[in-house]
Chains A and B, each alone.
Chain A
Amino acid sequence: MFIKVILLAFAGVIASLALKQIKPELAIFSAMGAGILILFAVLGEISGVVATFMTLTKQAESFGGGDILTSIVKIIGIGYVTEYSASVCDDFGSSSLAKKVQLGGKVSIFLISLPVVFSVIESVAKLSA
């Protein structure tokens, strides 16, 4: 799988270099296309990991770990997408936009992780009380 990622990256770099002299905007599009294909290659692997996690939590449902795992998977997805779009914004030359995207990603991850923190605190309170 990793070989495919390397090949896709090289193809994307070659295409964007070839297009840079002729048509600079198409170079950026070819880089975006290569990025998307690499994400697809990696996404296949991540879904396998997620599936095994799901089966694990099925057995560990007794102490209520299910919703925590879905938020973890969501955080993985958000980090995944924000990193990609931030680097695309960098490619296009506007680094300020990339920082805004990263800020948005951080905020959304924080929002998702809030209930998990609360549940942990509640369980600790229950234990101590």
Chain B
Amino acid sequence: MNLAGIDIIFKIAAVGLITAIINYILEKSDKKEIATLVTLTGLIMVLAMVVSMIADLFSSLKTMLALF
């Protein structure tokens, strides 16, 4: 995970935007249940990204500050 970059934030924003667009299309073609599934997958992807970043943060804290 490129820690220094801003691209992670824009990746999260991109995932949000794409899921919103797909939701809009699916709702217009009255497929409501698939829309909710797409929202769920987008949320889970972003969650996985953020959790992995938190894991990296805590591991570097442990090594640098001898915290735990």
Contacts and interface: CB of A to CB of B under 8 A. Distances in A.
A45 to B, nearest CB: 11
A33 B64 contact: no
Contact of A23 (B4, B16, B56, B65): B16
Contacts of A76: 65
Most central of A4, A23, A41, A81 by chain B CB within 10 Å? A23
Interface string A58-100: 0000000000001001101110110000000000000000000
A32 B5 CA distance: 15
Interface residues of A, number: 36
Secondary structure of the A side of the interface? helix
Given A11-B6, A29-B50, A23 B64 contact: no
A7 interface: yes
B13 A19 contact: yes
B67 to A, nearest CB: 4
A46 B65 CA distance: 9
Contact of B4 (A22, A29, A41, A80): A41
Interface in A33-52: 33-34, 36-37, 39-41, 43, 46-47, 50
A80 B17 CA distance: 32
Interface of A: 4, 7-8, 11-12, 14-15, 18-19, 22-23, 25-27, 29-30, 32-34, 36-37, 39-41, 43, 46-47, 50, 70, 73-74, 76-78, 80-81
